Amino acid sequence: MARRTSTQTAAVAPSSDGGGRRGSVVIYFLRSLRPEQWTKNLIVFAGLLFQPGARELFNPVALARTVTAFVAFCLLSGVVYVFNDITDREADRRHPVKRSRPIASGALSPWMAGGGAAILAIGALSVAFLLSWSFGAVAVSYLVLQALYSGPLKHIVILDVLTIAFGFVLRAVAGAVAIDVLISHWLLVVTILLALFLGLSKRRHELVMLADGATGHRQSLGEYSPYLLDQMISVVTASTLVAYIFYCISPETSQKFGTDLLGLTIPFPLYGIFRYLYLVHQREGGGSPSQMLMNDRPLLVCVALWALAVVVIVYRPFGV
């Protein structure tokens, strides 16, 4: 009997190790911040990329400020994910994928996650206001918008995806504010339309995957149908492409950049959006735009080539 007791004691010893437990909590907390989703914050760099007159892309001060803005929004978006997981933990436990998240699974205490997120939010907002008061105001606006989404707005049909889209617009505005430059109204329009495209595609993925259990996970899903979402996606897809094409070929853009070659980048968003639709309809993707971008090589190459083409055409580093 004594031998059995010692064996049992040895078996449970690792779980009673304070250091190991703290390490596990940190890992679970970092997972709850969802760093794999931080690619969404790359839109912060739009203000830096599309400012050729000031050559901001090659300005080390502007680059450092934009990177700081990017990091701040990564932390803030991570905070939002944590609080979303806390408020949605009961519904997430009924979701086939989300139930494995640390808070929903019970691996991370909501109180501990909330405390860590609050500290992180204070730190990120402090950095934001140190960067500039205007950038700090945009950061606070982003948090308020996400808090409204986590509360009532996520349950209101159409307003739920519009709120997500405006979150992307605030990211783009924040990138411009961080380096004190103006961002084109066309780019803001393209940003909100593209965000709507991604948000509606995600809703469609959830609706199809959860089937009859969709309303149990999110009330607003009961107001959608695959047909309605397909109609909305079609409208937003066409609008996004038309807006980007008009931006590329407009005289204002040609005058601003000193070239009319930006229209050569149009095939990249065409292929990228069509590829995304293919993944949504034929591969049942769309649940996580960030994961689709990182896991689908053709889509990733398309985005990388688009960014490279924009830099070459706008900044002409090789005398193009």
Average pLDDT over residues 56-65: 81
Arithmetic mean of pLDDT, 76-82: 92
Confidence of residue 297 (pLDDT cuts 50, 70, 90): very high
What is the distance between the alpha carbons of residues 113 and 118, in angstroms, rounded to a whole number?
Answer: 9
Cα–Cα distance, 154 to 212 (Å, whole number): 19
Q: In the prediction, which pLDDT does 99 show?
A: 85
pLDDT tens per residue across span 116-159: 999 999 999 999 999 999 999 999 999 999 989 888 888 888 99
Interval 236-283: pLDDT, tens: 999 999 999 999 998 888 888 888 899 999 999 999 999 999 998 887
Asked if 270 and 263 count as a contact pair (C-beta separation under 8 A), the reply is: no
The angle subtended at Cα 91 by Cα 233 and Cα 204, nearest 5°, is: 15
Q: Which range (7-11, 137-141, 264-268, 285-289) has the least confidence? A: 7-11
Give pLDDT tens digits for 176-200: 999 888 888 888 899 999 999 998 9
Q: What are the tokens at 182? A: 């103006």
The answer to whether 200 and 236 are in contact (CB under 8 A) is yes
pLDDT of residue 144: 94
Q: What is the mean pLDDT of the chain?
A: 83
Mean pLDDT score, 210-234:
75
DSSP character string of 52-80:
TTTTGGG-HHHHHHHHHHHHHHHHHHHHH
Residue 205 three-state SS: helix
